Amino acid sequence: MNKFALKKLEGYMPFPGPVVCVVMDGVGIGRRDESDGVYLAHTPVLDRLFVERLFTRLKAHGTAVGMPSDADMGNSEVGHNTLGAGRVFPQGAKLVADAIADGSLFAGKGWKTIMVHGKKGGAVHLIGLISDGNVHSHIDHLHAMLDQCAKEGVARVRVHALVDGRDVGEKSALQYIEPLEARLKTLSTDGRDYRIASGGGRMITTMDRYNADWSIVERGWKAHVLGVGRRYPSASDAIKAMYAEDPRMTDQYMESFVVEENGKPVGTIEDGDAVAFINFRGDRAIELSLAFEQEAFAHFDRVRRPKVFYAGMMQYDGDLKVPANFLVPPPTIRATLGEYLCASGVTAFAISETQKFGHVTYFWNGNKSGYIDPKLEKYVEVPSDRVPFDQRPWMKAAEITDETIAAVRGGKHKFIRLNYPNGDMVGHTGIPAAIRISVEAVDLGLSRLLPAIEAARGIAVILADHGNADLMFTDAKGKREPMVAHTLNPVPFIVKDYSGANRFRLTDLDRSVPPGLSNVAATLCTLLGFRAPEEFDASLLALE
């Protein structure tokens, strides 16, 4: 018998339809005021679901999803990791912070090899997101690495600064870049030369994901490696100039730039150098890693591929071993819900559009690429539009709904999971009208999907992975500022049972420890008629 095969739940009655898990990405529970895009949107379906008998709120940030503290927002990566794992694993931010604190990052093979190149005269290049958003990176990690470079005698360091404006304030780049420039100047003594060499906004420079738009990576390659881009005397000069050119522009969409001196780039990447991608989150770090590591590469013309030692902050894809070298081992997420269900013969269907496809597959399955069992599973990716999300806030909700309805009616898959990306991707734009439409598009999708589940005599599970659309702006000292980051709000969890086979009740969990996303996997086991694995956090439901 397969060790992952689940035991049947006593007293459970089978039913013909599927269990359909709907992740409304970025749709949290806000303050129900004019700042709350979920509350303001016209959502007749969600309004009814929020008063269902099987409704509760889940914690989706901080320690509940493996982040260092409850001051840290959740995100789609750690949210789907936790949903699929059924318990909490320490995540990237905490792993890196701990590795810096105990010195293990600097004692590891990856860092030591970077130091060898730096001490031999090669430059050390640090590429990454420059903010304290703590979703993809944290600037404290960069400062610790700069200090260590100086301590170990590295003469030349170049920072390639991707500005954020998404997990932090939309025009906050100078709050991070100016102090960083001052710090680099302070470190540039005793023969050291530490500078920012290039940069650009994260949504158009370097940080593409899921092969959505390789021109983003190409733009970063040109700036970081080749020194091709708009040139300025410093990064802060670049940011100020681009703000002045277009006051509406936000950091995440800032054009790539190159810092020059005497008419030449100050920090192209050359043979003999060492390069570290300092982001700990994997989805937007994989493609640049492939550009550095792959011999056969067809996504864009690299012009030249310097012979460097390349390492990621973490190994961003454990199955594909990308990158080959890394500074901090990633969390080992084992025995996921997907593994248990496949071992138990449960057929599964997963779908989203490109922007979140990896979340219902790769992240849900514990940072593992591909199928667990292709005989039992089917994954469908709907190609995303390549336009700013506020221009088409409905995104591909209709197409995702179409495919999911077909899967429900087809009757081949007992467990179906889907992600509507709208609330998150459009929430990051900070544009209220678009955010409200994005939530309404999800509600419209549910208005079509739920009747299909009812007709099939199935069960719908509706939840979110974190908040975003639920807080569109903040008011500080009388000034309204767009809120483009995730929130610390709880998220909804609703079960709508159309099967007519069993009666479920919410369990009496210890409410002094609020239930979180880690309780969902065991709950799905209950709805599918299985006893949850012992290592999973408790189910939110029980049979009456």
Per residue in 39-50, pLDDT (tens digit) is: 999 999 999 999
Kindly state the percentage of the chain with pLDDT values over 90.
88
Strand 309-312, strand 348-353: pairing: unpaired
Mapping DSSP to helix (H, G, I), strand (E, B) and coil, where does residue 256 land? coil
Compute the distance between CA of residue 486 and CA of residue 484 in angstroms, rounded to an integer.
7
Does residue 312 contact residue 326 with C-beta atoms inside 8 Å?
yes
**Per-residue pLDDT tens for 188-226?**
999 999 999 999 999 999 999 878 899 999 999 999 999
Average pLDDT over all residues of the chain: 95
Closest C-alpha to 517, from 81, 167, 134, 136 = 81
pLDDT tens sequence across 399-432: 999 999 999 999 999 999 999 999 999 999 999 9
Across 428-443, b (16+ Cβ under 10 Å) vs e yields: bbbbbebbbbbbbbbb
Q: Is 186 helix (H, G, I), strand (E, B) or coil?
A: helix
Instruction: Give the mean pLDDT of 480-503.
Output: 94
Peptide linkage before 323 cis (omega within 30 of 0): yes
Selected from 3.40.720.10, 3.30.930.10, 3.30.300.210, 3.50.50.60, the CATH number assigned to the domain covering 19-88+332-543 reads 3.40.720.10
185 pLDDT tier (thresholds 50, 70, 90): very high
Q: Where are the domains of the chain?
A: 19-88+332-543, 93-312
Angle value at C-alpha 272, between 271 and 274, nearest 5 degrees? 110
Question: What 8-state DSSP symbol labels residue 24?
Answer: E
**What length is written for the chain?**
544
Please say if the pLDDT value at position 537 is more than 70: yes
End-to-end CA distance of the chain: 30
**Residue 516 per-residue DSSP state:** B
| Complete DSSP assignment for 340-397 | HHHHTT--EEEEEEHHHHHIIIIITTTS--S-S-TTTEEEEEEPPPSS-GGGSTTTTH
Structure tokens at 84: 């699929």
Of 175, 198, 181, 98, give the one whose Cα is nearest residue 141.
Answer: 98
Of the two residues 331 and 274, the one the predictor is more confident about is: 274
Catalytic residue among 76, 256, 438, 539: 76
Q: Residue 318 has what pLDDT? A: 66
Give the residue from 498, 397, 414, 412 showing the smallest Cα distance to 450: 498
- Per-residue pLDDT band for 313 (boundaries 50, 70, 90) equals very high
HEC assignment per residue over 22-70: EEECCCCCCCCCCCCHHHHCCCHHHHHHCCCCCEEEEECCHHHHCCCCC
Strand partners, 506: 541
Q: Name the pLDDT band for 478 (thresholds 50, 70, 90).
A: confident
Neighbouring CB atoms inside 10 A of 485's CB total: 24
Q: What angle do CA 259, 238, 281 make, to 5 degrees?
A: 80
The pLDDT of residue 121 is 95
Which residues, at least 6 apart from 249, have a Cβ–Cβ distance to it below 8 Å?
242, 243
pLDDT at 445 over 70: yes
Three-class SS state of 267: coil
* pLDDT of 383 higher than 90: yes
pLDDT of the residue at 319: 59
**Angstrom distance (rounded) from CA 277 to CA 314:** 9
Enter the tokens of residue 71. Answer: 């001051």
The pLDDT confidence band at residue 512, using thresholds 50, 70 and 90, is: low
pLDDT score at 69? 81
pLDDT tens by residue, 54-97:
999 999 998 999 987 888 888 898 999 999 999 999 888 889 99
Q: Residue 315 in contact with residue 323, Cβ under 8 Å?
A: yes
User: CA 396, 373, 380: angle at the middle one, nearest 5?
Assistant: 10
Upper half-sphere CA count for residue 39 (Cβ side, 13 Å): 11
Q: Decide if 381 contacts 212 (C-beta within 8 A).
A: no
pLDDT given for residue 13 in this prediction:
98
The per-residue pLDDT for 1 is: 54
What is the three-class DSSP state of 224? Answer: helix
Across 341-370, average pLDDT: 95
Clarify whether 76 is annotated catalytic: yes
The H or E element spanning position 264 is strand 264-265
| Residue 510's pLDDT band (cuts 50, 70, 90) | low
pLDDT of amino acid 197: 98
Encode pLDDT of 127-184 as tens digits. Answer: 999 999 998 999 999 999 999 999 999 999 999 999 999 999 999 999 999 999 999 9
- Name the token pair of 459: 């069960």
- pLDDT of 241 strictly over 90: yes
The superfamily (CATH) of domain 93-312 is BPG-independent phosphoglycerate mutase, domain B (3.40.1450.10)
Token pair for 523: 């709950």
DSSP state, 261? Answer: E
Name which of 420, 427, 392 is nearest 41 in CA terms.
427
Q: Collapsing DSSP states into helix, strand and coil, what is residue 319?
A: coil
Phi then psi for 506, rounded to 5 degrees? -70, 135
Q: CA 293, 297, 300, 303 torsion: positive or negative?
A: positive
